Structure 1
Amino acid sequence: MNSPATRTTGQERLWSVDDHLEDILTTVRPLEPIELQLLDAQGCVLVEDVTVPVSLPPFDNSSMDGYAVRVADVAGASEEFPAVLTVVGDVAAGQADQPHVGPGQAARIMTGAPLPPGAEAVVPVEWTDGGLGEGPVSGMRAHSASPEGSSGQVHVHRPAEARAHVRAKGSDVKAGDRALEAGTLLGPPQIGLLAAIGRGTVRVRPRPRVVVLSTGSELVQPDEELSTGQIYDSNSFALCAAARDAGAIAYRVGAVADDAETLRQTIEDQLVRADLLVTTGGVSVGAYDVVKEALSSVGDEDEAGGGVDFRTLAMQPGKPQGFGSIGPDHTPLLALPGNPVSSYVSFELFVRPAIRTLMGLPDVHRSTTRAKLSADKALTSPKGRRQFLRGTYADGTVTPVGGAGSHLVAALAHADALIVVPEHDTSVEPGAEVEVVLLG
């Protein structure tokens, strides 16, 4: 980061998109790891490899409801000449004691139950008469294995190969295998795997806490009545949702009026619960752009590395930007423009990578691809600025949505991609290949 003495030089320099992003990513550091319970770790990133302590499954078990048998006893079995076996008991999932299956015998077995000693395969209940031929027990109702021996007979109508319908011990993962690598984002399947191998807690980087606030005396909350000159505050909702989509725990603060002292106090109050602060509005050169004034006196700006740099970027939309750190803990802050499209595009380009960096993810960027431009006429772009136009992407083709205006919220809502027009291009013809940033 620049020192406080050089904080005012940001607008004297025209920053490129890449330089601004590099400054952010070299400043923001991943959060310190903590140990969390499994469900609390959802959405977090592992900081260490996880090794399997016990094989999955931990024992040979049945993949079907049926009968555990010896292969030789059902060889040649058919509908006309079924194999008739003596049922020596039942094996249920979780049952510790199992009957031994000897020649001419079978054990009724449930899905997930251990393969009993002596058995070599499982025949599904559909291949049998379900034990209805003789004996006091019918169907697949479980009961304890009889120490006296027989509890009926079963007719088997088809042969079975060795290990048929048996899930082998360790067929999923073996003890000593690496279950998950450091850097893995924990979703429901990964949480399930950790539980399956007996892990109740895991060491992760926590989800970053992101506070989003918008500025402007003209902003009104949804569901309230608009007066002349007022608009609804949409930016804070969009950015808060975007932060959650990126993996953060996001807090939305109601719109703050154009008063530097009120804004300063609001920001200072939010530092206690923020790993990252995002403001929208008040960063251009207008007379009422109070964000700069407020941030110049927030927290402990006298320490080396503190303060926020307000910059002009060679991009459209999103030319005015701010970045720095505030408060005694040097909490990162990104100040975004107030126009809805400008703020959202800026979030995707700069804030989302910062959030993913705090999480400790190895890849923090949206996926990009090359696509054929489908348009009725050439796209125009200002010279020397990298333009990001909204579009829809499908099957290698991208189509612009709406115009270049930074206020077009409806068009943004229908876009799933950003069309990138490089700084050196002032027009792009239909059919040309363009770079596309995929949103989601």
Structure 2
Amino acid sequence: MSQLTDDCFSFGGVLMPLDEALQRLRDRVSPVTEEDTVPLATALGRILARDVMAPFDVPPHDNAAVDGYAVFFDDLSPDADAVLPVTGRVAAGQTLGRAGRRGEAVRIFTGAPMPGGFDTVLMQEDCRAGDGTVTIPPGIKRGANRRSAGEDLARGGLVLGQGRRLRPEDIGLLASIGLREAPVRRALRVAVFSTGDEVREPGVGLEPGAIYDANRFALMAALAGLGCAVTDLGILPDREDAIRAALEGAAAGHDALITSGGMSTGEEDHVKAAVEAAGSLHFWRLAIKPGRPVALGRMDGAAFIGLPGNPVAVMVTFMLIARPLLLRMMGAADQEPRTVPVRTGFAVKKKPGRREFVRSRLVRGDGGALVALKHPRDGAGVLSSLAESDGLVILGEDVARLEPGTVVDFLPFSEVR
């Protein structure tokens, strides 16, 4: 007698492991080679096109790390106060105009160039200023509070390497060597579609059976965060001819095409057939949950990424599959998100042979350790569960049961933005 199932991921056929799918991605795509030069103000998230070397030392001169007094260390006493005349003053952006002389102190401020010869700076809070003198207690170390030229960047050294995805601190580093612009890879041109006769644009009225298109807007936001040039090509009807025509039309002017929905095995799921008819499809059923029906293919030179229709599955598969593919196409050197070990605050059973990603939030447990709590609603259509979670607990293919307190890998959403 047949047995009914409540597992929507259970229909037959061999499923591809996620690691194999990711390796296929690495083998099948190459990065864009064209370069752009963009102002630093707009370079955030872009991929550096070539190595950047330091044209000079940063900082360019020895300088004071604190407000205080510059002295020769050998003028100080190891066990008694030293009283020195204050013979000059140097603020940031100024110079003393001469080298230092033994037996004197110079008032100096944070960032000001150290006059030649002086090797140590006393914090003003540790000194007593008098009538043209300063009293310095014993105990300071030679070279204290003095920053050396080239301490941050040495002339001729590597500042940032090719393939770096630029972060705010990287932008600051480029500015510190005088650059106003950054050499970056051309922005990846990505067209985004949704499919489904039931899908409507936000802002219009909903008739019975219709839903608003959350997927396309979430995908466009994720792509913009990666620095892609995004084209919104709207909602496609559930007709193979319309989908095929739209894909063929968009392929010529884009590096990648992304759709959501239409990748499963239903009678109204036409995207897979349209891609196979007009291009090629490399894989489409993965051993993951959520998000099994995922495809990678090509349409007239453009990469095709077909994601599932359920909103959670869309976002999870974008993070796990589309994001590393796009980063590779962009020329990014680092495409792998980092996971962190946490303890579970829940028990779970799962089917062996597939990798599952459990939406979870983090709390502090006893002793301050991070504990992952499973979101109470785990349906692939519950988009609020992503908004209310901090990341994904990863359950490997060999896991069948998990008890509370088990150490697992946790993928923070901050790692896949």
* Shared fold (TM-score, shorter chain, > 0.5): yes
Give the CA deviation at 1:296. 5.5
Number of the residue aligned with 1:390: 359
8 Å CA contact retained: 1:207, 1:247 = yes
Give the CA deviation at 1:127. 5.7
Letter in 2 for 1:17: P
* Superposition pairs of residues 272-311 of structure 1, within 5 angstroms: 274-292=254-272, 294-295=274-275, 301=278, 306-308=279-281, 311=284
* Superposition pairs of residues 18-29 of structure 1, within 5 angstroms: 18=18, 19-29=20-30
**Aligned counterpart in structure 2 of residue 340 of structure 1, from 306, 311, 326:** 311
8 Å CA contact retained: 1:43, 1:207 = no
Q: Which has the larger radius of gyration?
A: 1
Give the CA deviation at 1:251. 4.5
Number of the residue aligned with 1:158: 136
Give the CA deviation at 1:12. 11
Query: In the superposition, relative to structure 1, how do residues 178 and 313 fare at CA in structure 2: closer, same or farther (>3 Å)?
Result: closer
Query: In the superposition, relative to structure 1, how do residues 405 and 249 fare at CA in structure 2: closer, same or farther (>3 Å)?
Result: same
Question: What is the aligned-residue identity percentage?
Answer: 33
Number of the residue aligned with 2:5: none
Query: In the superposition, relative to structure 1, how do residues 36 and 71 fare at CA in structure 2: closer, same or farther (>3 Å)?
Result: same
Letter in 1 for 2:134: V
**Aligned counterpart in structure 1 of residue 296 of structure 2, from 323, 329, 332:** 323
Q: d(CA) in 1 for partners of 2:349 and 2:321?
A: 24
Query: In the superposition, relative to structure 1, how do residues 283 and 94 fare at CA in structure 2: closer, same or farther (>3 Å)?
Result: same
Q: d(CA) in 2 for partners of 1:339 and 1:120?
A: 65
Query: In the superposition, relative to structure 1, how do residues 405 and 75 fare at CA in structure 2: closer, same or farther (>3 Å)?
Result: closer
* Superposition pairs of residues 24-173 of structure 1, within 5 angstroms: 24-32=25-33, 34=35, 36-37=37-38, 39=40, 40-46=42-48, 48-70=50-72, 83=83, 85=85, 87-88=87-88, 90-95=89-94, 98-102=97-101, 105-117=104-116, 119-126=118-125, 133=131, 154-159=132-137, 162-173=142-153
Q: d(CA) in 2 for partners of 1:411 and 1:29?
A: 35
8 Å CA contact retained: 2:358, 2:392 = yes
Q: Which runs of 5+ in 2 are unaligned?
A: 1-10, 364-368
SS at match of 2:136: coil
**Aligned counterpart in structure 1 of residue 349 of structure 2, from 379, 388, 394:** 379
8 Å CA contact retained: 1:42, 1:186 = yes
SS at match of 1:157: strand
Letter in 1 for 2:85: L
Number of the residue aligned with 2:185: 205
Query: In the superposition, relative to structure 1, how do residues 82 and 373 fare at CA in structure 2: closer, same or farther (>3 Å)?
Result: closer
* Superposition pairs of residues 407-418 of structure 1, within 5 angstroms: 407-418=381-392
Q: Which runs of 5+ in 1 are unaligned?
A: 1-10, 134-153
8 Å CA contact retained: 1:31, 1:360 = yes
Q: Would you identify which runs of 4 or more consecutive aligned residues in structure 1 move more than 6 Å?
A: 128-131
Which deviations, in whole Å up to 9, do the C-alpha atoms of 1:130-170 show, x marking residues without a partner?
78x4xxxxxxxxxxxxxxxxxxxx23132576544332223
Which deviations, in whole Å up to 9, do the C-alpha atoms of 1:64-117 show, x marking residues without a partner?
334444557675999xx98463535x4343336714544665544333222224
Query: In the superposition, relative to structure 1, how do residues 72 and 392 fare at CA in structure 2: closer, same or farther (>3 Å)?
Result: closer
8 Å CA contact retained: 2:240, 2:273 = yes
Give the CA deviation at 1:203. 4.2
Give the CA deviation at 1:335. 0.9
Q: CA RMSD in A?
A: 3.8
Letter in 1 for 2:280: G
Q: What TM-score do the two structures reach when normalised by structure 1?
A: 0.73
Q: What TM-score do the two structures reach when normalised by structure 2?
A: 0.77
Q: d(CA) in 2 for partners of 1:355 and 1:32?
A: 14
